[in-house]
Copies of this chain bind each other. A is one copy, B any other.
Amino acid sequence: MSKSRTPSIKMVADRAGVSVATVSNVLNGKPTVSPDFARRVNDAVRELGYVVDLGASRLRSRKAQLAGVVVPDLTNPMFASFVSTLEHLARLDDYDLVVVSARNNVEEEADRLRKIRSWRPAGLIVIPCDGAFAERLPNGFFAPVVLADRIPDAAGFDLIAVDNGPAAGAIAAHLDKQGYGDCLVLGSSLSITNVRERWEGVRAAAGRMHVEMLEIGIDDVNGAQRLEERLRRRPLPGALFSLDHGTTLLTYRTMAEIGLSVPADLAFASFDDMEWMQLVAPGITAVRQPIEEMAEQAWALLLRRMTGSAGKPVTRRLRCAVEIRGSTPRSPLEEAGNTKLGGEKWTLQDEPYSPE
């Protein structure tokens, strides 16, 4: 047997009896090649099972067709579906994607960003771990960067996000209108800009309802304990509003462990709508983010930037939908048993949102 290696363009050229340049021309669809030669090359390619070496190809041609994606956590279903959509879109435009997760860790994110430069991507889509993203971006990074979902402290970035404030405000207004006197707002950390925006949205729209915020961190045992203590103290708040996915999970589990029941003991709403929230009874009132659309817009924008469109940084806010379900019934004191699955769907009206 021949000492087989993965075949190179040279081996193809030899086998087809042509020059390397001709093989390259055929493979890249250059028009100046006769049908006869093209056939011979294609045959050789097929017989050898040749595929181009991306590294070498990119090195020489200096065109990347490669984008990097950095997300805080792949196991979060929101981000997973964000990545999955991006992957699909990128493929349609003939781009490759290098995806990395920061595992909810700021230093790891910085590390990944440094590392991803080695790939020489033509652009980057990043969902940053927190607002201080700008500090972690390597200084000599030239490729365009589009941020998504989470809002950076510093200006000057392209940004595709959702209207956190108004959407959270819609939930607060809903709770207020239903007659809840006070609402305990829960979130991982106000250092995450989204959580901050949501909390501010709640305060702005709370009306007569008294609101209060409790930060419980990410995977933080102390935070979890503070939450449990609060839920064991009496009187309970009339409603709970959890501002992010991780917090919602923890809160809901804690309530179950303590034996609190929704909505009899308190109402419950969540930012981030997950699949199971319409499977539990009663369904959980939640803000649903247009995650696929976010991916689409982010990709479209990055693609424009990668193909040379200059211009001022763009900020776009996408509109969330609010799903009203059984966990926040009209009047918590009088009728506490509306456990109908699912619920009416209420969409934010189309009012313009102007960031900053």
A residues in contact (CB < 8 Å) with B: 4-7, 48-59, 73-75, 77, 80-81, 83-84, 87-88, 96, 98-101, 103, 114-115, 117-120, 138-142, 249, 252-253, 256-257, 274-276, 278-281, 341-342
- Cβ of A281: which chain B residues have Cβ within 8 Å of it? 256, 280-281
- Cβ of A5: which chain B residues have Cβ within 8 Å of it? 142
Copies of this chain present in the complex amount to: 2
**A6–B279 contact, CB under 8 A?**
no
Closest B residue, CB atoms, query A143: B6
**B280–A253 contact, CB under 8 A?**
no
**Distance of A270 from chain B, by nearest CB (Å):** 12
- Cβ of A139: which chain B residues have Cβ within 8 Å of it? 49
Contact of A6 among B48, B58, B100, B140 (CB under 8 A): B140
Q: Would you mind naming 18 contact pairs between A and B with Cβ atoms under 8 Å apart? A: A7-B140, A50-B140, A51-B138, A52-B118, A54-B55, A54-B118, A74-B80, A74-B83, A75-B77, A75-B81, A84-B101, A87-B100, A88-B103, A249-B275, A256-B279, A256-B342, A279-B280, A280-B281
User: Quick one: which of A56, A249, A341 has the most chain B CB within 10 A?
Assistant: A56
Q: A87-B100, A249-B275, A256-B342 are in contact. List 9 more A-B contacts (CB 8 A).
A: A51-B114, A53-B120, A57-B118, A59-B59, A75-B81, A84-B103, A99-B99, A252-B279, A253-B278
User: Quick one: which of A59, A88, A249 has the most chain B CB within 10 A?
Assistant: A59
Contact of A279 among B83, B84, B119, B276 (CB under 8 A): B276
**A59–B48 contact, CB under 8 A?**
no
Cα separation A56 to B166 with both chains bound (whole Å):
48
Closest B residue, CB atoms, query A256: B341
Cα separation A275 to B256 with both chains bound (whole Å):
14
Contacts A6-B120, A142-B6 known; A74 to B49 CB distance under 8 Å? no
- Cβ of A257: which chain B residues have Cβ within 8 Å of it? 341
**Distance of A356 from chain B, by nearest CB (Å):** 29
- Cβ of A278: which chain B residues have Cβ within 8 Å of it? 253
**B84–A138 contact, CB under 8 A?**
no
What are the 10 tightest A-B residue pairs by CB atom distance, in nearest-first order? Answer: A49-B140, A276-B276, A55-B55, A54-B118, A74-B84, A80-B80, A75-B81, A51-B117, A280-B280, A256-B341
Closest B residue, CB atoms, query A80: B80
- Cβ of A52: which chain B residues have Cβ within 8 Å of it? 118
Cα separation A140 to B257 with both chains bound (whole Å):
55
- Cβ of A252: which chain B residues have Cβ within 8 Å of it? 279
- Cβ of A140: which chain B residues have Cβ within 8 Å of it? 4, 6-7, 48-50
